[in-house]
Structures are given as C-alpha cells and as structure tokens.
Amino acid sequence: MAHPHVFIDTGIEVLINDRNEATGLRISWTYDDLYSLFIIGDMGLDIDWDGVLTPEEEARLAGFDMQWDPSFLGDTYAVVNDAELALSRPSDWGASYAKGRITSTHLRSFERPVPLEAVPLIVQVYDPGYYSAYTIVDDALLTGGAGCKAETFVPDLDAADEALLAALQEFTPDVDLEMSFPAVGKNYAEEVRVTCPAR
C-alpha cells in the first residue's frame, strides 16, 4: 500500500521529420525532492549544500539513471493501432539539478519512422509495478512536422485505485508485497496522443 515510492514529473518531446513521421522521443524526468536528495547525497554531490552543482558535478550526475537492466523498457511505451512500437535504448542523455530536484533527459529512437496521420501515435508513461508514479506536467512538445497536434489524457484514478485494491485483496498476509506487488501501473498511465493531417 506504500506504492508509489518515487514521484516523477515527465516531459515528452516528439521528434517529427518533414514527412510527418515520428523518428524518436526525448523524455525528461524531474524527480521528487526526497529522491533527488537521496541521489545527490549518495553520489557525494553538492557537498556545500548550496543547491548548485559545479560543471564537474553535473557531468558526474548525467546518466545516473540510464544504466538500465536489459529487461527494463524505460517506463515509456509507444503504441499505434494497439501495436506496441519498439524504442531504442536511451542515448544523448543529460541531467541538471535546480530547486532541490534532479531533471534527467534522454533520447529514444524508433526502429523506423512512424507515419503520423489520423490514427494517433500514443505515448504512455508508467511503471508496471507502480514503484514510480509518472505525471505528464506540460503539453507535449512537437519538434518538426507540419500541422500536427498533441493531446494529453489522464486515467480514471478512482477506477485505477479500485483495481489496485482488488488486486491487493488477492494476496495472503504472509506474502511480501514489496517483492510481489501486482502489475497495476498501466491503470495509472498518463498518455500523449499525436496526430497529423494527411499528406
């Protein structure tokens, strides 16, 4: 019941070529104050606690969250017509620290350009195990393309909470929920839907 443990404000930038095809996603994650403090302290950064990193410290921070296990899908999912699209491993990453919070960014590319027309490209952000909670905080940024638009949708949180409680009731008291937490994160997924006019 303690889930989620980490709260992440998420930014999504969709990269679009001159044929109105999506070529990749730039994702930003701004971590909550407590988790940011844990990372800064654990890495031995900002030792004077003035809230400002030196260029050398910022370089050390970059990529702190990019050493992904092979099975980790980056908590970002791209879907068209109910088919999930493959995304590359992260690249071109960076990180910054301001107002007590870490923001990291990374790029993920599609295997091939994704045509954007009336059928939307859906970009979802969620942690299947709901250890982390992702919130899309601003309108998605569309870089490139012509006449495209992006809309953000949020889930029915009451329905998601009900599904979580129903899943938890299936566990017996002797089960370590931290190790066996139900995969309910998708019920809390926020998403961006991108469409472009036919060309």
* Mean pLDDT, rounded, for 43-72: 94
* Mean pLDDT, rounded, for 115-132: 92
pLDDT at position 3 is 64
pLDDT at position 64 is 97
Cα distances (Å, whole numbers) of residue 144 to 19, 120, 191: 9, 16, 20
* Mean pLDDT, rounded, for 64-83: 94
Nearest in space to 90 (alpha carbons), one of 113, 70, 74, 69: 74
pLDDT at position 182 is 46
* Mean pLDDT, rounded, for 18-40: 97
pLDDT at position 124 is 95
Q: Is the confidence at residue 160, as pLDDT, over 50? A: yes
SS3 184: coil
Q: Is the confidence at residue 111, as pLDDT, over 80? A: yes
Reported confidence tier of residue 120, pLDDT bands at 50, 70, 90: very high
| Helix (H) / strand (E) containing 178 | helix 177-180
Whether 149 contacts 194, CB under 8 Å: yes
pLDDT at position 198 is 78
Q: What is the pLDDT of residues 169-195, one digit of tens each?
A: 665 565 555 555 545 578 878 999 999
Q: How far apart are alpha carbons 73 and 91 in whole angstroms?
A: 14
Q: Is the confidence at residue 55, as pLDDT, over 50? A: yes
24: which 2 tokens?
A: 């990749």
Reported confidence tier of residue 17, pLDDT bands at 50, 70, 90: very high
| pTM to 2 decimal places | 0.87
Where is pLDDT greater, at 6 or 161? 6
SS3 186: helix
